[in-house]
Amino acid sequence: MISYQYPAKLDKQATILLASKEQVKKRDFANLNSSIHNEVCRTLDINLFSGEREELFPVVIQKQIVLLVGIGDENKLSLTALRVVLRNALLSSYLKKTKEIEIIPPIQNDNIVKAAIEGIVIGTYSWEKYKTQDKNKEPVSAKKIFIAAPHKKEYEDAERICAGVNCTRDLVNDNADTITATYVEKIIRGLVQGKKNITLEVLNKKELARHGLGLHLAVNQGSAKEPRLIIVRYHGSLKSGDYTAIIGKGMTFDTGGLNLKPSGHIETMRIDMSGAAAVVGLLKNTIALNLRKNILFVCAMAENAIGAEAYKPGDVICSYSGKTVEIGNTDAEGRLVLADAMSYLVKNYKPARMIDIATLTGACVIALGHDYTGLVTNDDKLFQKLSQSADATDDRLWRLPIYPELKDAVKSQIADIKNVGLPKGAAGTITAAEFLHQFTEGTPWAHLDIAGTAFVENKQRMYFGHGATGASVRLLTHFLQYN
């Protein structure tokens, strides 16, 4: 989809010229040949384009379009804004029928080019599998796009990472009855097939019961669909041991159980497997980048359905770790399957660190909105590394506290622990994290709550259109690359 050529050739059907206000003022367009430069300057001379951010203006030169795209003040340009303006340009009606597009960055800079790649691949993604109209409309992914930059491996890697993000988005956006636990298992088996440095352990319903993963089974017992705990051991380093475990919550649909979710909240609950989908995208990236690290990729898959067999509020269930759990609310189910998965990993795989990723709490949306993932961790070094990766990838996170007294919030009067925290939903995000903390057995651990960041319900948020965003795939890929 993307090719690289340097210097700019200006020989395609369309050229996107990313221009700052300073460039417009000085008429500083060194990449343009004289004839195109003159035509662009004529447009500027009559004040039809000033370079303001997100400003678009087409210049037609014979059979070619030069689309002027404003990026605002050059010294204030953020990479986020660059992704946004490039997305808007590529999806504009001006380029609807073009088949080849050349993009000229404002400056030659690796971060600028990689942000442009993300604006192209992530920004123009759309989920249209079930649309029966506009079948003749050519998506941006079908166009040939050329970036006026020298070819580099890190640009190819950026494309691979974006492909992993979009793989995650496809899984989240599809129907819940399509993306079942067995379907995810099939996808993972396809990714790892033939890889000598990868082993796979899959626990089905019978094996979950045999091993005693009581919490996982309880959540799924109202469903006719099979649960799964899928563990991929990726041995990419010669160093023995020292595995990083990435654990994804995989609720293929979450009704809330007998504590049924109301209208206005239940409709998008196919997204409750966004954590597991992120793990799949991360696995895809790890294989594509051939990372020299030891990693455990874990998908804890279940469906929280209602029916005669569903688990009930007030039940006390024994976890894999041996701790008994009082069920205060059947809609606090994700932490249950994650708790059993974490305990199973600690005992059988002994990872050096664990990171779980989950659409865990609506409280996180209240606290942080939709642009920042919530982070809770018991390890300051892990926080620092994850924070650095978040800054590098624009896959944002914000740390929330965890502290010794918080364990009192999840105490039960009839069991060892309960799956809900303080009354009236107070501190819902950090009490949910504290529940998980009880199953880490001292392992360095971080919890990423992507409830707010995993999905866009309105038309657009930043450079994401409607639907799944692939939250934390870029963040965790960078973390694994550089730590």
The per-residue pLDDT for range 292-332, each reduced to its tens digit, is: 999 999 999 999 999 999 999 999 999 999 999 999 999 99
* Residue in 21, 335, 353, 396 annotated catalytic: 335
Provide, rounded to the nearest whole percent, the portion of the chain with pLDDT above 70: 99
Structural tokens at position 395: 């896959």
Q: What's the confidence (pLDDT) of residue 32?
A: 83
pTM score above 0.85: yes
Q: E strands of 242-293, at which residues?
A: 244-254
Q: What's the confidence (pLDDT) of residue 134?
A: 64
Topology (CATH) of 2-151: Leucine Aminopeptidase, subunit E; domain 1 (3.40.220)
- In the three-class reduction of DSSP (H, G, I as helix; E, B as strand; rest coil), residue 200 is classed as strand
- With a cut of 90, say whether residue 153 has pLDDT above it: yes
CB 304 within 8 A of CB 253: yes
Distance CA 190, CA 145 (A): 29
CB 241 within 8 A of CB 197: no
Q: What's the confidence (pLDDT) of residue 39?
A: 86
CB 345 within 8 A of CB 351: yes
Helix pair angle (110-121, 79-90), 10° resolution: 40
Q: What's the confidence (pLDDT) of residue 189?
A: 98
Domain limits, CATH 3.40.220.10, in the chain: 2-151
pLDDT in tens, 342-357: 999 999 999 999 999 9
Topology (CATH) of 160-482: Aminopeptidase (3.40.630)
Longest dimension (CA), the chain: 81
Provide, rounded to the nearest whole percent, the portion of the chain with pLDDT above 90: 84
Known catalytic residue: 189?
A: no
- In the three-class reduction of DSSP (H, G, I as helix; E, B as strand; rest coil), residue 402 is classed as coil
Domain limits, CATH 3.40.630.10, in the chain: 160-482
Structural tokens at position 183: 């379907």
| Helix-strand-coil split of the chain, %, nearest 5 | 40, 20, 40
- With a cut of 90, say whether residue 141 has pLDDT above it: no
Cα three-residue angle 335-340-341, rounded to 5 degrees: 95
Classify the C-alpha dihedral 305-308-314-317 as positive or negative.
Answer: negative
> Considering the chain, what is the average pLDDT of its residues?
94
pLDDT bucket at 238, cuts 50 / 70 / 90: confident
Q: What's the confidence (pLDDT) of residue 214?
A: 98
pLDDT bucket at 155, cuts 50 / 70 / 90: very high
Q: What's the confidence (pLDDT) of residue 136?
A: 59
Known catalytic residue: 411?
A: no
Q: How far is CA 374 from CA 205, 274, 367, 387, 421, in A?
A: 31, 15, 9, 11, 17
Q: What's the confidence (pLDDT) of residue 58?
A: 94
Return the minimum-mean-pLDDT range out of 23-27, 467-471, 473-477: 23-27
Looking at 349-449, list the stretches that DSSP marks H as alpha helix, in order from N- to C-terminal side.
362-368, 380-393, 428-437
- With a cut of 90, say whether residue 388 has pLDDT above it: yes
Structural tokens at position 390: 């978040």
What are the backbone dihedrals phi and psi of residue 460, each rounded to the nearest 5 degrees, phi first? -160, 145
- With a cut of 60, say whether residue 135 has pLDDT above it: no
Cβ atoms within 10 A of the Cβ of 468, count?
Answer: 27
Q: What's the confidence (pLDDT) of residue 81?
A: 94
* Residue in 144, 160, 205, 261 annotated catalytic: 261
Distance CA 331, CA 255 (A): 8
